[in-house]
Chain A
Amino acid sequence: MSWANGSKGVRANVEFFAGTPDAGKTIVHPMQISFVLGDFVGWGTYKGVGNSGCSTDNSGWNTYLDGRAWGTYFCRDSALPEYSDADDGTSFKIVKGVCGQFLAPGFDFYSGGSYRACENIDVESNPTLTVGGENPWEGPNQHINIRYYSLDRLKVSHSTWVSWNESNPPCEDWHYRIVENAADDIKAEEF
């Protein structure tokens, strides 16, 4: 359980539309941070059947935060109101933090401009950042359009947010996975 010095995070303003539930469930992840041994955290939004631990059967888009802590999955409903396909501009942010009664490494979650929670997981060095991932468990990609009005990164040892678009491909398409290859560098690649 470790955490390099400096800040690290991702934030975005996101629009989702034209989602078609697949097998009763449509899930899109605005952003996820994952580690080699399998722990991860992420913001998710869904229609239809919710994940274990979260509310279910929603006609509009609901948001949740979820992850895996030392191999154990968790899902928490966000306090954000359900929104429709026509709504846009929802903002999400995840940034490193310390939390819990032991002030251990974790991630702070923000949505709609408000702090929501901090979750402890097993944090390794070199996280992988993924944006716009669709639920891969129920068949092929669902071809949901996701537009990032803005997508920023917070690099190690930096205190200011930097647009991913400054030196990387545009991130308006879910095909882009953001991969941080070094402690102080993030790049996007297609997947």
Chain B
Amino acid sequence: MTSRLTGALLLVAVAGLVSGCAALGPVAVQGDIGAGDRVQSGCEQGEAVTISEGPAEVVTWGQPPLPPLGRLGAAVSRAEASKAGYVPPDPAMPDGMKAQLYLLGDDGLYSFYSAEPVREDDRIDAFLKEHGVVVAMTRREGSDVADVVKSTIGDRATGVMVGGHSAAMNRGDPFANGVRPFNIMWSSDAYDWRVMSGLETATASLDVARSIACG
């Protein structure tokens, strides 16, 4: 398996678990994917992934106050979101977790999944601390977001495949409450996607993204 990985970054161990997603490629290649590499479809659930963790020290930089979730947009029903042109994703979530809140903003739909109810005045760090997952589905306005993320944060981003899309994955620096979410970003034809996960592992977080992209 050949890959162009730089630094101490990444690596994906192929577990060989193949889901029912169609058109699976034969070889798993992660990171900066070269022109000659064969590419998997990125639909395998449970395939282990290792990403660049980055520093985990206590944060002292002076994060501004986190706005309440409700500033993203208006709370809507699933039907209302669909009517507005944003059909909410239906990702595979760990047992007990379900969609608790949909917020429709000027730029797109934000779906919140957790085991407990979510309020509009909650903050993102507390939501993630309870292992919540938010899926941002925003209108695509230009470049592929994975390319932008990779060029912006460099080797803190790990290249992964999500349903045939080249995605960027990272683990965020800690919030004030210590939580460090996993982030997966990719673009489809019409939307930019960001899965921000408070789940305990990178693999579980990536599975959420893959279930969205692979249906």
Instruction: Give a binary string over B71-85; 1 marks a CB under 8 Å from any A CB, 0 the rest.
Output: 111000000000000
Q: How far is the CA of A75 from the CA of B62 in the complex (A)?
A: 12
- In the bound complex, residues from chain A placing their C-beta under 8 Å from that of B153 are 69-70, 72, 74
- Cβ of A62 within 8 Å of any chain B Cβ, yes or no, is no
Beta-carbon nearest neighbor of A34 in chain B: B64
Chain A: how many interface residues by the 8 Å CB criterion? Answer: 52
Q: A52-B61, A70-B153, A72-B153 are in contact. Are A1 and B138 (CB under 8 A)?
A: yes
- In the bound complex, residues from chain A placing their C-beta under 8 Å from that of B64 are 29, 32-34, 40, 42, 128, 130, 133
Q: How far is the CA of A34 from the CA of B157 in the complex (A)?
A: 22
Q: A37-B124, A38-B125, A128-B64 are in contact. Are A100 and B106 (CB under 8 A)?
A: no
Q: A29-B64, A126-B71, A137-B176 are in contact. Are A37 and B145 (CB under 8 A)?
A: no
- Cβ of B54 within 8 Å of any chain A Cβ, yes or no, is yes
Instruction: Give a binary string over B114-157; 1 marks a CB under 8 Å from any A CB, 0 the rest.
Output: 00000000001100000000101011011111011101110011
Considering the complex, which residues of chain B in the window 32-89 have a beta carbon less than 8 Å from any beta carbon of chain A? 54-55, 57-69, 71-73
Q: A44-B62, A177-B65 are in contact. Are A2 and B147 (CB under 8 A)?
A: no
Q: A1-B138, A101-B151, A120-B152 are in contact. Are A72 and B106 (CB under 8 A)?
A: no
A44 to nearest B CB, angstroms?
A: 7
B111 to nearest A CB, angstroms?
A: 13
A145 to nearest B CB, angstroms?
A: 18
The residues of A with any CB-CB pair to B shorter than 8 Å are 1-4, 25, 27, 29, 32-38, 40, 42, 44, 51-52, 66, 68-75, 100-105, 119-122, 124-126, 128, 130, 133-138, 177, 183, 191
